[in-house]
Amino acid sequence: MLLRTLMTPNFAPSSDGSTPPASPPEGQSGTETPPTPDPVTPPAGSGSTPEEQSPSDDGGPKPTPQEKAAADAEAARAAVHTEAAAYKINLPDEQRQALGLADDADPILKGVTEHFAAAGKSQGALDDFMATAGELAKAGLFGTGFDPAAEAAALGENAAERRTEIESFANAVKARGEIDDGEYGELMSLAATAAGVKLVEKLRGWMGEKGQIPTPDTATGGGDDVEAAKAMARDPRYGVDRDFTKQADAAWQKAHRKR
């Protein structure tokens, strides 16, 4: 009887007369714990978890480095520049040699890039044009007899500087309204040859303040004055620096003052 009493739970009846549920066994809570899901393992060889993957903006796969490089090259070919200096001369060395191009500062290339900028042509159009010209030159179809490398050699080591002086001079007289566009183009074309550069240098050395060229019989200045005036006329600042140009012109007038 005692054993039965100890084994029988002693409940207090609820207020509504029902019997409350039995208590869970000792050491267990009344709420069951849901099972823990197995961890998600990424596919073999993926190298990253799904959270680390970064899809492209449109939800598709990111482009490969090769595809990105091809897209960048296509965009570069489609570019249209407003400044001639922004164009690039993309030519292999053998085609440059065939065309006789010493460097990108060559007057011929300068004229070509200025044309493409003014015409609103793309970088790709320039690339195709220069590639065709290079192939024609390699085939010997450009029999003009003009050799830019030889012309540069004839001007010496400072060929580029001497050509730049001619361009600065041409720009200065055009800016002053003394020559029109056609005359400016002709003057600039002289910078392509050694003889043209030397001719303009001599003309600059002879020119007076208003552009006149004194004849030998009207030159009465001393030899030192004449040489000094010539040196100022050859100075790179002539035609660029307005004040220096006025001083150089005045020195030339003094050295070649009429009788």
Mean pLDDT of 103-110: 80
pLDDT band, very low/low/confident/very high, at 153 (cuts 50, 70, 90): confident
Q: CA 172 to CA 166: how far, in whole Å?
A: 10
CB contact at 8 A, 235 and 204: no
Q: CA 87 to CA 72: how far, in whole Å?
A: 16
Q: Would you state the pLDDT for residue 119?
A: 93
Q: In what helix (H) or strand (E) does residue 183 lie, and over which residues does it extend?
A: helix 181-189
Nearest to 74, CA basis, from 35, 111, 109, 123: 123
pLDDT band, very low/low/confident/very high, at 174 (cuts 50, 70, 90): confident
Q: Which two tokens stand for residue 208?
A: 């007076």
Q: CA 157 to CA 126: how far, in whole Å?
A: 30
Cα angle 120-122-124, degrees, rounded to a multiple of 5: 160
For the four alpha carbons of 43, 46, 50 and 56, in that order, the dihedral sign comes to negative
> Residue 203 CA to chain centroid, in angstroms?
36
CB contact at 8 A, 63 and 71: yes
Q: CA 113 to CA 120: how far, in whole Å?
A: 10
Long-range contacts (CB closer than 8 Å, 24 or more residues apart) made by 70-76: 76/123
Q: CA 199 to CA 32: how far, in whole Å?
A: 105
Q: Which two tokens stand for residue 179?
A: 């020559």
> Residue 246 CA to chain centroid, in angstroms?
37
Q: Which two tokens stand for residue 129?
A: 């044009």
Q: What is the pTM of this model?
A: 0.39
In tens, the pLDDT along 189-237 reads 888 888 988 998 888 877 755 555 555 444 445 566 777 877 887 788 8
In tens, the pLDDT along 22-48 reads 555 555 555 556 666 666 565 555 554
Percent of the chain's residues with pLDDT above 70: 66
Comparing 54 with 91, which gets the higher pLDDT?
Answer: 91
CB contact at 8 A, 75 and 125: no
Comparing 44 with 187, which gets the higher pLDDT?
Answer: 187
In tens, the pLDDT along 52-73 reads 454 445 667 888 999 999 999 9
pLDDT band, very low/low/confident/very high, at 247 (cuts 50, 70, 90): confident
